[in-house]
Amino acid sequence: MGSSLFWFDNWTGLGPLYFLTPADFYCNEEINNVSDVVTKGRGHEPTIRNNLPEDLANYRLIDVQPPYRGDELDKPWWMLETKGDFTASLHGSISEAKEKKGMFTRRYGVWHFKVPLGDVLRSWGYHMPSMCSCCASPKEETVHHIFLRCETAQRTWSYFSAAGGINIAGMHLHQLIVKWWTTDVLPRMKPIFYAIPSIIVWELWKKRNGDKHKDKVSISRVIFQASRNIQQLVKVRKPGIRSVPHR
């Protein structure tokens, strides 16, 4: 249905268009989703040409044909496989590298041809759902739990959502992220609101891994690190502001 973000998702295969445009290029922030430049299943050529540099507009963007169904969200496409489905294709890639240099097996210990792939995956915990290490009571470590429902996630999202005027009560993770992307704010704030969910999810993932490997991080530290990343993003986008507050 074209729900991917026009500027920030890699819907063309070239990478996020926001980062492919020149630094001084004005990105029309009224265009949010791919559907905004699609008419009857085709890219609307005048709109694309009016809102992208000529070289990008000419690079087959007009011919990119997103499946256009009004009732189905866009889905991730695994670009290493022609079917588009994620697979554990690491075995083939590293085995091929081993034949060339052997560095993966001898230096880093990533793979050895005598160790079955299933044993490696089981050693990484893929054979069973693990338990969340930051909750007082055992909870299954699902994506939804790690990034939204556990205490750390709840307090972190609540901290930033309160400042952003977003009510997270009863939301699923996908709904919450979309809410950050679609909240009606001043145009200069939109890139910040687009980035905040990624920043929060990244810090939550770092905490989860730290807890698993005996390097525990406090909830306050997660919020601090996310705030610092947001602060740095504002400094990059608005270099004229001399003092950007951390909170």
Q: Which of 4-13, 74-83, 94-103, 164-173 has the lowest mean pLDDT?
A: 94-103
Q: Tell me, what's the pLDDT at 138?
A: 65
Task: Give the residue from 75, 206, 211, 76 showing the smallest Cα distance to 139.
Answer: 211
User: What number is the average pLDDT over the span 170-196?
Assistant: 89
Q: Tell me, what's the pLDDT at 129?
A: 53
Q: Tell me, what's the pLDDT at 215?
A: 82
Q: What is the pLDDT of residues 29-62, one digit of tens each?
A: 888 888 888 877 677 888 888 999 988 888 767 6
What Å distances lie between residue 240 and 155, 214, 234, CA to CA? 32, 41, 10
Q: Tell me, what's the pLDDT at 106?
A: 37
Range picked from 10-14, 125-129, 225-229, 239-243 for highest mean pLDDT: 225-229
Q: Which of 70-74, 82-86, 103-107 has the lowest mean pLDDT?
A: 103-107
Residue 126 neighbours by CB under 8 Å, 6+ apart: none
Q: Tell me, what's the pLDDT at 104?
A: 38
Q: Calculate the average pLDDT of the chain.
A: 78
Tokens 């810090």 -> residue: 203
pLDDT band at residue 127 under the 50/70/90 scheme = very low
Q: Which of 49-63, 78-92, 94-108, 137-151 has the lowest mean pLDDT?
A: 94-108
Q: Which residue has the higher pLDDT, 114 or 130?
A: 130
In whole angstroms, what separates CA 40 from the centre of its chain? 28
